[in-house]
Amino acid sequence: MSKFIAKIRLLSTSEGGRITGIMSGYRPNDSFANAVNTDVKFELINHCTLEPSEKYTVTLIPLNFDSISEFLTFGSQFIIR
């Protein structure tokens, strides 16, 4: 299974983001990087929760790597809603 280190920031509620934070193991229920048939999981590194508007480094685990592999390059930026 492939794993990547990613820096993420949750959008604040005023930016159209989440109302609540996320915990380790969070799996967004929307598309990732405009790809279809995606499933990714975030593991927070040495942190319990990540709240809206906070930035943090996470381990990104693509559960269907083939569907997003073309989008994963160093320095790539994505919006996950």
**Tens-digit pLDDT profile for the chain (81 aa)?**
788 888 888 889 999 888 999 999 998 876 565 655 567 888 998 888 999 999 998 998 888 777 777 777 778 777 665
Question: What's the pLDDT at 21?
Answer: 92
Question: What's the pLDDT at 71?
Answer: 72
Residues 6+ apart with CB under 8 A from 22: 10, 42, 44, 49, 50
DSSP string, 15-45: GT--SS-EETTB--SS-STT-SS--EEEEES
Question: What's the pLDDT at 32?
Answer: 60
User: Could you name the CATH architecture of 4-68?
Assistant: Beta Barrel (2.40)
Q: Is the pTM of this model over 0.85?
A: no
Question: What's the pLDDT at 37?
Answer: 57
